[in-house]
Amino acid sequence: MSKIARQHSAHLPPDTRRTNFMEVVCGYTEAEALTESGRCLQCKEPLCSVGCPVRINIKGFINFVSKKDYKGAYKTITEANLFPSICGRVCPQERQCEAGCILGKKQQPVAIGLLERFVGDMAQQHNWQETRPIDLIGPTSKRAAIIGSGPAGLACAYDLAKAGVTVVVFEALHLPGGVLTYGIPQFRLPKERVFREIENLTRLGVTIETNRVIGKIHTIEDLMGRLSFDVVFIGTGAGYPRNLGIKGDSLNGVMSANEFLTRVNLMRGFDFPRYATPVGIGKNVAVIGCGNTAIDSARTSLRLGPDNVYIVYRRTLEESPARKEEIRHAIEEGVQFICLTTAKEIIPDNEGWVKAMNCVQKDETGSSEILLNVDTVIYALGTMANPIIARTTPELTTDKANYVETNGESLMTSMPGVFAGGDITRSGGTFTTVIHAMSTGRRAAKGMLEYLESN
Ligand code: FAD
Ligand code: SF4
């Protein structure tokens, strides 16, 4: 056991942070990182790496940190993951790497995420860059198209580029990153951090073409035919909104979390009046749902200045799939949780805008109706697969909900040479996290390289 207590990173105080979009968790100082790295027991058979979906050599990188060899630590992490600044911030470590840490049995586990973030940020500060692999192995003549620049597509691109494949990523939006850019808010994951890590990928030779909706400008058949790609990866995520199907669903003032977060993050609604893209939400906001997306929507709403932000959730808070740290932050900031409650109807004013929401709350004695006066209702009910690829690719086997079906370990789809991963498949099991998307991107890259070798 370690005699040293887990080092906590400084946080912005709740009253300060609820008024702006500055990053909430400040991250370790060098002294804190060194002390924390000293807590690692350097187990012979570490279970932390088993909990990490991309199997980072955690013990190895922490050992480098403890010796102040931060470049060595960065090199060790990037053998498995090019995005430590991102993953150190957003992975649900308490269910992954840190859940395996043996210290966690009797005291708090090593803060693996905070250490990873420290190393990733240090690499950005010093502009560290791996040698271009093509300089080492020479380019192959093979070409890969990646559809979607979310974590699955980026991780797949990284492994293919390292193997000397020419990689072009096609992204529908005007900026790359998927949910990392348009979904997860600035106060949790600053966009500068995301773009710096993506820049490392482009420095490896990967081309990212934005404003390219595959299914509209080119089909997969075009990519494999006319445009001469040898393999294709589908990493289009599951950003299609889901409605409750109750009365009042389509009133003015009802929106999906993805629409709301995209308007704030991507269109910089949070930066009004510097950007002429205000997002009007009124005085009272209700967010329906309690996953990561709901918590992000509630905390984002709060920062736009309303009097009340409610989370309306049909289960108990303990059952929420969101990261525990984010729930704690939301409570500290003043988000009000109304649990065991289901929305039944959204009520309009005379002009067709939201005026109130009628809900049913359950408790030990039965159920009762509650009326919430709200101006905005945000649906954060989980997302669905966008049907555009399925509709334009008849040879591709998808399930009823348009999720792409893949085969076994390689993640090849029903079309030879076409692979898929991330949220558009069910290959991460029930997990829809950044690092699971990345791990399926890496798995698919392995399958694609094997396919290229044998075809
Ligand atoms: P995405 O990130 O959705 O990226 C898909 C990309 O494909 C998008 O950029 C999209 O524009 C593009 N695309 C779609 N269709 C096309 C097309 N036809 N042509 C070209 N491009 C296309 N996970 C965590 O681990 N931790 C968190 O804290 C966390 N918070 C979250 C908060 C929010 C608000 C949301 C929505 C999700 C969160 N998640 C979190 C889940 C995680 O972000 C996703 O599981 C992950 O991003 C999925 O990665 P992906 O690459 O499959 O898809
Ligand atoms: Fe933990 Fe995520 Fe880092 Fe893996 S990538 S070690 S799961 S924080």
How many angstroms does the Cα of residue 330 sit away from the middle of ligand 2?
A: 23
- Check whether residue 168 and residue 301 sit in a common domain: no
What CA–CA distance (Å, rounded) separates 50 from 58? 10
Structural domain tally of the chain?
Answer: 3
What CA–CA distance (Å, rounded) separates 445 from 416? 14
Over range 21-46, report the average pLDDT: 97
Whether 2 is in a domain gets the answer no
Whether the CB of 116 sits within 6 Å of ligand 2: yes
Separation in Å, CA 391 to CA 138, 210, 399, 412: 38, 22, 12, 19
Whether 3 is in a domain gets the answer no
- How sure is the predictor about 266, in pLDDT bands with cuts at 50, 70 and 90? confident
- Check whether residue 353 and residue 310 sit in a common domain: yes
- Check whether residue 352 and residue 379 sit in a common domain: yes
Whether the CB of 112 sits within 6 Å of ligand 2: yes
Give tens-digit pLDDT for 339-356: 999 999 999 999 999 999
Terminal alpha carbon distance of the chain? 53
Whether the CB of 66 sits within 6 Å of ligand 2: no
Whether 405 is in a domain gets the answer yes
SS3 400: coil
- Check whether residue 14 and residue 29 sit in a common domain: yes
User: So what's the pLDDT on residue 408?
Assistant: 85
Place of tokens 């300060």: 16
CATH number, position 298: 3.50.50.60
Closest CA to 198 of 119, 74, 86: 86
User: So what's the pLDDT on residue 324?
Assistant: 87
Mutate to test the pocket of ligand 1, among 82, 87, 90, 179 (most ligand atoms within 8 A of CB): 179
- Check whether residue 152 and residue 274 sit in a common domain: no
- Check whether residue 42 and residue 121 sit in a common domain: yes
User: So what's the pLDDT on residue 430?
Assistant: 61
User: So what's the pLDDT on residue 336?
Assistant: 98
Separation in Å, CA 197 to CA 74, 180, 271: 12, 11, 23
- Check whether residue 16 and residue 93 sit in a common domain: yes
Give tens-digit pLDDT for 121-160: 999 999 987 655 555 555 678 999 999 999 999 999 999 9
Whether 4 is in a domain gets the answer no
CATH number, position 34: 1.10.1060.10
Q: CB–CB of 306/285 below 8 Å?
A: yes
Whether the CB of 155 sits within 6 Å of ligand 2: no
- Check whether residue 354 and residue 432 sit in a common domain: no
* Single-letter amino acid, residue 26: C
- How sure is the predictor about 2, in pLDDT bands with cuts at 50, 70 and 90? confident
User: In sequence order, which residues have a C-beta less than 8 Å from that of residue 95 and are 6 or more positions away?
Assistant: none
Whether the CB of 402 sits within 6 Å of ligand 1: no
pTM to 2 decimal places? 0.94
Mean pLDDT of the chain: 93
- Determine which residue's CA is closest to atom 4 belonging to ligand 2: 52
Range of the domain at 351: 241-383
Whether 245 is in a domain gets the answer yes
How many angstroms does the Cα of residue 162 sit away from the middle of ligand 1?
A: 23
Whether the CB of 435 sits within 6 Å of ligand 2: yes
The residue count of the chain comes to: 455
Give tens-digit pLDDT for 313-323: 999 999 998 88
Q: CB–CB of 66/58 below 8 Å?
A: no
- Determine which residue's CA is closest to atom 26 belonging to ligand 1: 90
> How do strand 341-348 and strand 207-209 relate by DSSP bridges?
unpaired
Which of 383, 415, 432 marks a domain boundary?
A: 383
Give tens-digit pLDDT for 273-290: 677 667 888 999 999 999
Q: CB–CB of 369/358 below 8 Å?
A: yes
Give tens-digit pLDDT for 365-394: 889 999 999 999 999 998 789 899 999 999
Following CA atoms 105, 118, 14, 182 in sequence, which dihedral angle do they give, to the nearest 10 degrees?
Answer: -110
Whether the CB of 433 sits within 6 Å of ligand 1: yes
DSSP states along 360-376 = EEEETTEEEEEEEE-SE
Which of 328, 363, 383 marks a domain boundary?
A: 383
- How sure is the predictor about 427, in pLDDT bands with cuts at 50, 70 and 90? low
Whether the CB of 322 sits within 6 Å of ligand 1: no
User: So what's the pLDDT on residue 365?
Assistant: 86
Q: CB–CB of 303/18 below 8 Å?
A: yes
Over range 300-305, report the average pLDDT: 94
* Single-letter amino acid, residue 144: A
Which of 99, 126, 153 marks a domain boundary?
A: 126
Q: Which atom of ligand 2 is nearest to the CA of 97?
A: 1
Q: Look up residue 201 and give its two tokens.
A: 């990928």
E strands in 278-353? 284-288, 308-312, 336-338, 341-348
- Check whether residue 195 and residue 92 sit in a common domain: no
How many angstroms does the Cα of residue 432 sit away from the middle of ligand 1?
A: 9
DSSP states along 153-191 = HHHHHHHHHHTT-EEEEE-SSSSS-THHHHTS-TTTS-H
